[in-house]
Structures are given as C-alpha cells and as structure tokens.
Chains A and B, each alone.
Chain A
Amino acid sequence: MSRQISDLSITPRRRWMGILAKSPRAALERAWNELGDKPEYRLLRAPEIGLAMVRGRIAGAGEPFNLGEMTMTRAAVQIAAPQGGTLTGYGHVAGRQPRHAELAAIFDAMLQRGDECAAALIEDLAGKLAAGRAAKAAKVAPSKVEFFTLVRGE
C-alpha cells in the first residue's frame, strides 16, 4: 500500500482510475449531475459484482502470496471518440457499488478523450483524498508508538 496516488511515476490513467475508485460515489454522482453536456454512452459491460484475489508481497519484495479475496464491482462503457470510433472506459471499485463503477467508467472514458471538466474533477478529488488522508494521519499521529526490539542474549 506504499504507492501514493500522488506519485508522479505512475501513468496518468492509472492515477485517475485510482482516484475515481477511491473517491466517494456521491462526489462522482454530483459531478455527473452538474456536468453541462453529458456524453452519450452505452454499457459494454453492465456493472457486475465479483471477487478479486488481493495479493501481496512481504515487505513489498518477497514472493507473492494470496492475501484474500475482496468484493469488487467492475463496469465498462463506450463513448464516441473525437476522431471517430469509440473509447472504452473502465471502472473497477471496491465493494458492491454498481453505480460507482459505472460513473468511474464514464469518467475514465471522458478523461481518455481529454475532457477538461473531468480533468478538473480529478484534481479536485485528488485534493480531497489527500486532505482526508492527512487529517487521518494527523489524528492518529499522537498515538504512535515506536517499537524497539531487545537483542536476546545468545
């Protein structure tokens, strides 16, 4: 979990998909409702709920192991591409969140098209996520305990 979504080394698309997935559904819904010209979209894959295996590596470097399965929802939509054809947007979100996955997919498709409203939304959401994380970190910081290990006499 060490990767921060503000990390510039990740691709822009990966970053925005992460932000869309982690932001509250209500925020996406509000943005969608406030959108001036909503793109026409068709569901390529209607939101479906399933399980995904979450895998980890000890200390981020060991052999991968299966941590457990988590519920997730995915959706895919198509919108018209500016140069003809279609763009496919994907939404993958944690939990049982059909509408959230659908909205994330729509915004993903819009962002691929270079939509400025959607890009502004991402920056707004990223700021809120970062602020939320910082607030939580500040709240728990006073209770932080530094552990140390005594060397056993051997």
Chain B
Amino acid sequence: MTLAEAAPKRGGLPAKAGTHPSAVSAPEASPPSHPLSSARAAERWTPASAGVTSGDIAPGFRDPVHGAQRAFRLTLDAMAHPARIHDLSGLLAAPPPDPLGDAAAALLLALCDVETPLWLAPEAAPVLPYLAFHGGMPIVEAAAEAHFAFIPGPARLPPLGSFALGSDEYPDRSTTLILEVPSLGSQGGAALSGPGIATAARLSAQRLGADFWRQRQELSALFPRGLDIVFTCGARLAALPRSAIVESF
C-alpha cells in the first residue's frame, strides 16, 4: 500500500473556477487511467523529488489561507475592473525568487495547484523549485496546454495565439497569462472600454509594444474565446480580461 503524495486539500484555497479539458473530456480519450495514476502521478511533486529537498526556497504566504484568499479576492476585483491597479504587498512572508514579483508570486500560489498546468517562459526557470514546493503545479512545455502562464517580461511574450484560447463551448479553457512588466500605470497607454469600465480606462505598461495591443485587438473578434491577462509589476497588478475592448493604443 502506498501513500499517494500530493493533493493535500488545503482549506480555503480558492481554485480556478470552471473546468478544463483534462478534467472533463479525459474519460473517452484515455481508457482506464485514473487521473491520479500513471504518468500524471509521476509529474507530481513529492517531497523527495529532485531539486526540491535542498537549496534556498523562500517561504510562501505569511498566512497561507487568508493570504491566498486575499490574493484571489483582489484578482477577482481586478478582473471585474479592467486596468484598475491593485496592491498585493504584504501577503508573502519573504521576497519570492527572481524574476517573480510579489504580486505574480502571490497570484501563482493562490491560483495554481497540482491540477493547473503552468507554462513558464524559459527565463523564469529559476522559480521552479519555489513554485514546485508551494504549488506543486505541473509544468508544461506547450503553451497551449497551460491553464496559467508566467512571463517575466513583455520581451519574452510569445504570440498570444500560441496560448490556449478556449473553445466556443468552453471559453474558460483558456490560458490565464501573468505578465510581469517594468511599470504599470493608468495614465496614457491603451484606451479600454467594455464591462467593468464606466466611461474609459487607460492602461500603460512599459515595453508593451503596439504589436501586443494589435494582437490583443484581434483576439476580441473571437469572443467568448480569448485570453485573460494579468499584468504584474512588483506587488501591484492590473487585469485585462478578454471582455475588455482595446479602443486605441
């Protein structure tokens, strides 16, 4: 008899709402394999798995339950009010490893667990032990398979179309991008409209070029498919949900 590692259910951790392909459509595709068994199980974090037992891993949330709830709540509010800047400082017990900012780390620890595949830009590899320890999320090679993606800078951002955009039946099966930017402001930049924006909102992020905004504009045509993007800058964050319309940039 073996004690399966992983998936200790932590009280109160908010999970991502909605279901994803791996959770729903798997039974027809793969005959007897239980989600916990076979190859998936091998990917999971175990205390003794390589690289995690030694080295300096920073502690996560100061208060795991309330910290995660607060991060979730603020992200929810950010999604409801596109471009509004929220502050997530003070949630973590120690600074996360570079290139993770406080907000990006809090977000990943709050939203990801063993059931949410994460795509990491290659430059973000140093954060792997930290994320593996605190979240245990499987890391995927293909951006299109990821439920979440962390990109440490706009220059590292692959084409938006390479991420999962969801389907018309299940638009929630898309990748949520967490993009660390050098600066974040609500003056100048792109003009946004749409649900959650009373009149107009502006979002500026350094090094976020016209190419990004053009790609984002093109995605609007696919609605309800699309990408939800969270910009993080240190401990601050602002969201650009798929429903937001980029008027000009």
Q: Which residues of A contact B (CB under 8 A)?
A: 1, 13-14, 42-46, 48-57, 60, 63-64, 66-67, 72, 74, 76, 78, 81, 85-88, 90, 92, 112
Contacts and interface: CB of A to CB of B under 8 A. Distances in A.
Nearest to A71: B8
B8 A54 contact: no
Contact of A67 (B1, B47, B53): B1
A50 B6 CA distance: 10
Contacts, number: 78
Contacts of A50: 8-11
A87 B9 CA distance: 26
Contact of A86 (B7, B52, B55): B55
Given A46-B64, A64-B37, A92-B47, A53 B56 contact: no
Nearest to B129: A88
A55 B5 CA distance: 10
A52 to B, nearest CB: 6
A44 B36 contact: no
A55 B48 CA distance: 19
Interface residues of B, number: 28
Contact of B133 (A44, A63, A72, A81): A44
Nearest to A13: B48
B59 A44 contact: yes
Nearest to B63: A46
B64 A88 contact: no
A63 B56 CA distance: 38
B64 A55 contact: no
Nearest to A72: B8
B50 interface: no
Interface centre among A64, A66, A92, by most chain B C-beta atoms within 10 angstroms, is A64
B199 interface: no
Interface string B49-65: 00011111101100010
Given A42-B59, A44-B59, A66 B8 contact: no
Contacts of B57: 44, 78, 88
B32 interface: yes
24 contacts: A13-B48, A44-B57, A44-B133, A45-B60, A45-B133, A46-B64, A48-B10, A51-B7, A51-B8, A52-B4, A52-B6, A52-B8, A55-B1, A55-B3, A55-B4, A64-B37, A72-B8, A78-B56, A85-B55, A85-B56, A86-B55, A88-B57, A90-B53, A92-B3
